[in-house]
Amino acid sequence: MIKSMMLGSLLLLVSQAPAQLTAVKNTYFEAEMVFREAEMNLQPGLYGYYKIEASGNEYVEGHLESPGQSDTALLNITIEKKAVETYAVNLNMDYRGKKYLSGIVFSGDSCAYMDYGDTVAVKQSVKAHALIYFYSPYNLVKTIQKNIRTLHLVDAKDENFKILGFNDEYGNKFYTRYDRTKKEFTALWMPAYDPVLGDYFETLAYEDYRCDNGFCFPVRITHQKATGIYRTIAVTNIQFDRNDKEKPARKEMVEIEMDTISNHLFLIKLLNFNNKMMVSKHRNYLSVYDAPINIAVCRQVISFLHEKFPDHPVKYCYLSHHHPDHAGGAGAFMETGCRIVTTPGNIAYFNRIFQATHTMEGRPVNTTKAAGPLFDEVAVNKNRRFDGDDYPVVACETGASTGHTKEYLLFYFPEDKVLFAADLVLFYKNGIYNQGERALSVYKFIEGEKLPVERIFTGWPLHHFNDYGTVEDIKACLKAKYPGL
Ligand SMILES: [Zn+2]
């Protein structure tokens, strides 16, 4: 009896787990996607210096007549970002005609704090002053960047307003509300404790952002504590300086070179990835042959091609086979609405690649992701000709004979008598490099189809090997293994 009950509850656990994991995944990855959107709008590295001047009120608790009653003090406030890691808030208070000064300087992971009435600043933990640090929403972005793996989505239901949760490096917990329509953080909450009033949420509200040259700052900030509104800030003046040194320099990851094969045909060399791909130029578009490595590499290839051929967007992406060094970057072409030319056995795999998000990589969200994916299939063991306006290409399925992948496409360019064999054959620079089944399949295909081929281009490797060889070169590489050829 006991045994069967236990089994029953175990089964229940197992069946609930996938749905619960999906919920976890959604709250995690969606949070990061929302944050990357925010980060694109509020770039904390873009401005090296800013100074915000504001007036405001502080509500002073005292031994007054009724509970909850407070007195209003007048404030003059400056919020200043000085150097890379230094941020200061200074408060000049006028309370019943007397002047008081308070200031806090955050530098790296510590802060120097001077309370009203004190004359010297003391070094304190940032932990106790977290919300003052977040008077600048730029610091909010920075803190999330530093603690990105603590980020999660609290409420995913509302399309336009998202509640994100995160921790800082000092053990504080925060929740922030992001308005996706306005691309603004509108509120920040932090669980806090008051020895008299108990548990509460300390909060900041950001309202009425003003933007100038990409520098955005809320004009009204309201800071609340356990007793209610604690401080209001009304911005009167904003100064900022662009700082080129701090600009996030996106390092180009691929060194790209392009060789011209003919008026219509080009060879793209990915130097630091030891990899190649081909490009054909048609009346008003380009086609690429293979999409090596990954989405980031191929996004860069697309930018490179856009620079070289601004009037010729990439419209077709032909993939020889599914291996990552030849198709790992297919997602970059799919997201621009390219048609993918492949074989039936790869469709499900490329569909999955199209659905994939890349938030963990920290890449900006592609907000213009095309509908799709769009496929043109080449049937197994068949050739399919694409007219390509003025420059035709024939995709030939030869998988079964390659000994490499079940399905495989060779690409033939009849006008240039060029064949792109991608991964099946090698042409070593210093002599004969003996080869087997893969190279044999290319040789047999050319012979069998009586294809006029002058040059056979390869996709890999780039270094120590020639870009292309001839049918005679393949034959020479096969001699050792197939002496009867
Ligand atoms: Zn391969």
What is the 324 CA–ligand 1 centroid distance (Å)? Answer: 8
Mean pLDDT across the stretch 210-230?
A: 94
The total of other beta-carbon atoms located within 10 Å of residue 182's CB is 12
The pLDDT tens digits of the residues spanning 296-352 come to 999 999 999 999 999 999 999 999 999 999 999 999 999 999 999 999 999 999 999
Mean pLDDT across the stretch 259-265?
A: 97
Q: What is the mean pLDDT of the chain?
A: 90
Reported as half-sphere exposure (CB side, CA atoms, 13 A), residue 16 has a value of 6
What is the 166 CA–ligand 1 centroid distance (Å)? Answer: 42
Predicted pLDDT of residue 417: 98
What is the 435 CA–ligand 1 centroid distance (Å)? Answer: 15
Q: From 284, 280, 286, select the one nearest 264 (Cα to Cα).
A: 280
Predicted pLDDT of residue 128: 84
pLDDT at 15 over 70: no
The total of other beta-carbon atoms located within 10 Å of residue 193's CB is 10
Predicted pLDDT of residue 22: 85
Identify the three-state secondary structure at position 349. Answer: helix
Mean pLDDT across the stretch 92-116?
A: 92
What is the 326 CA–ligand 1 centroid distance (Å)? Answer: 7
CATH of domain 28-239: 2.50.20.10
What is the 276 CA–ligand 1 centroid distance (Å)? Answer: 13
Considering the entire predicted model, what is its pTM?
A: 0.73
Res. 159 pLDDT band, cuts 50 70 90:
confident
pLDDT at 252 over 60: yes
Mean pLDDT across the stretch 61-70?
A: 81
Domain with CATH 2.50.20.10 in the chain: 28-239
Say how far apart CA 72 and CA 448 lie, in whole Å: 93
Res. 246 pLDDT band, cuts 50 70 90:
very low
What is the 267 CA–ligand 1 centroid distance (Å)? Answer: 19
Say how far apart CA 344 and CA 346 lie, in whole Å: 6
Res. 10 pLDDT band, cuts 50 70 90:
low
pLDDT at 47 over 90: no
Dmax over Cα atoms in the chain, in whole Å?
109
pLDDT at 7 over 60: no
What is the 320 CA–ligand 1 centroid distance (Å)? Answer: 9
Mean pLDDT across the stretch 235-263?
A: 80
Phi, psi of 404, deg, nearest 5: -115, -60
What is the 76 CA–ligand 1 centroid distance (Å)? Answer: 67
What is the 339 CA–ligand 1 centroid distance (Å)? Answer: 21
Lowest mean pLDDT among 63-72, 371-380, 420-429: 63-72
Res. 4 pLDDT band, cuts 50 70 90:
low
Predicted pLDDT of residue 13: 58
Percentage of the chain exceeding pLDDT 70: 93
What is the 405 CA–ligand 1 centroid distance (Å)? Answer: 7
pLDDT at 82 over 90: no
- CATH number (3.40.109.10, 3.60.15.10, 3.30.360.10, 3.40.50.300) of 256-478 reads 3.60.15.10
What is the 323 CA–ligand 1 centroid distance (Å)? Answer: 5
Res. 40 pLDDT band, cuts 50 70 90:
confident
What is the 423 CA–ligand 1 centroid distance (Å)? Answer: 5
Res. 3 pLDDT band, cuts 50 70 90:
low
Domain with CATH 3.60.15.10 in the chain: 256-478
The pLDDT tens digits of the residues spanning 162-183 come to 999 999 998 899 999 999 999 9
What is the 279 CA–ligand 1 centroid distance (Å)? Answer: 19
What is the 383 CA–ligand 1 centroid distance (Å)? Answer: 20
pLDDT at 11 over 70: no
Identify the three-state secondary structure at position 193. Answer: strand
What is the 109 CA–ligand 1 centroid distance (Å)? Answer: 49
Angle, alpha carbons 475-477-481 (nearest 5°): 95
Res. 61 pLDDT band, cuts 50 70 90:
confident
Mean pLDDT across the stretch 140-160?
A: 90
Q: What tokens appear for 179 in the block? A: 């308005």
Say how far apart CA 482 and CA 475 lie, in whole Å: 9
Mean pLDDT across the stretch 119-130?
A: 87
Mean pLDDT across the stretch 102-106?
A: 94
pLDDT at 143 over 70: yes
> 383 CB contacts (<8 Å, ≥6 apart)?
394, 395, 396, 397, 449
What is the 424 CA–ligand 1 centroid distance (Å)? Answer: 8
Instruction: Answer with the residue of higher pLDDT: 339 or 124.
Output: 339
What is the 322 CA–ligand 1 centroid distance (Å)? Answer: 7
Predicted pLDDT of residue 1: 44
- State the sign of the Cα–Cα–Cα–Cα dihedral 247, 250, 256, 258: negative
